[in-house]
Structure 1
């Protein structure tokens, strides 16, 4: 029952994101609106973490399974992609490395900010 309630909260937030997407004509996916609403709800404590924690951990655990249809779609499109294989691999490698570097830098920045905040609290 707990998972059903937690999934319902996540789906409701996603639905609100879809509704916002209908009214705001920006080229932003509805899922981004839902993620921002969830972030705001969690940061302002309108949505307690324990209200969605177990279901969200489950979704994170099964996330690799969600990529299987995309991989099958790529294999199904091999005839079209075969001629573009080298540019496809180069773009994939460059973008992956770029995302890893930016993610690492942002994470290091937030760790430093958090560490500095804790040091200031102890003084």
Structure 2
């Protein structure tokens, strides 16, 4: 029960942040970022949310059914804008991959330099 309360609590916090700030970002993403931050700094222990997290990850395909149905409902709109969607999706994917790779490299360099300074 604690796992559900923690995860739904962070979803609620994300909803509150979006409502109060007017951010144009999904509240679930904000909640997930806040939960990740809380896990990193130790406010929340991984074992407190591990069971539900594993369950949700294993059943993730189930959560893609509603968007799949929506795609079928708007098939005519998708067909009329097919190339725009393909180009935007491809460029967006390339940009996300590049930013993720650069960010990972930056963090790894920072982590390695922190270890060197700590050992010196």
TM-score, normalised via structure 2 length: 0.80
Is residue 2:97 matched to residue 1:91? no
Moved more, 81-90 or 15-24: 15-24
Is residue 2:110 matched to residue 1:113? yes
Unmatched 5+ stretches in structure 2: none
Deviation at 1:109, TM superposition (A): 0.9
Question: CA, structure 1 residues 58+117, in 2 after alignment: closer, same or farther (shift >3 Å)?
Answer: farther
- Which residue, 51, 60, 72 being the options, matches 2:69? 72
- How many correspondences in the alignment? 120
RMSD over aligned Cα atoms = 2.1
Deviation at 1:36, TM superposition (A): 4.1
Deviation at 1:39, TM superposition (A): 3.5
Unmatched 5+ stretches in structure 1: none
Deviation at 1:116, TM superposition (A): 1.6
TM-score, normalised via structure 1 length: 0.78
Identify the residue that residue 101 of structure 2 maps to in structure 1: 104
Q: Where do 4+ consecutive residues of structure 1 move more than 6 Å?
A: none
Q: Over residues 13-47 of structure 1, what are the superposed CA-to-partner deviations in whole Å (9 max), with x where a residue is unaligned?
A: 22233234333344343334423432443243222
- Which residue, 29, 34, 37 being the options, matches 2:26? 29
